[in-house]
Amino acid sequence: MHLISYDIQDDALRLQLAKLLIQFGLHRIQYSVFMGRLKTSRLPKLQKALQHLQTEKRWHSEDSIMLLPLHQYSEDNLEFIGPLPDRWLEITEKIHTLIL
């Protein structure tokens, strides 16, 4: 599981990043926070794509993207206050546990 959060000033660049993350199968958890499981083979592609964003002229010097690999410990102890994001069980794959 990975968590990706960002601060991107330019609206179009932010939208481009959000679309990229969705293409990679990640899910929007909060406005600027995405989460999901990335296939090992796809991680280097995503890392390259994220690093490439820095070269865009719409990238501001204060912009940032954080890519955080999560351990099972984080998933097991995560606390969410407020309505759970859409497809939360699918994201965390707890649905398998619930169905079996």
Contacts to its own copies by CB under 8 A: 3, 5-7, 29-33, 47, 50-51, 53-54, 61-71, 73-74, 77-83, 85
Residue closer to its own copies by CB (options 62, 97) is 62
Which residues make Cβ contacts (< 8 Å) with residue 66, sequence separation at least 6? Answer: 3, 4, 5, 6
Residue closer to its own copies by CB (options 23, 30) is 30
The minimum distance between CB 100 and its own copies, in angstroms, equals: 26
CB atoms within 10 A of CB 17: 22
CA angle 21, 63, 50 (to 5 degrees): 35
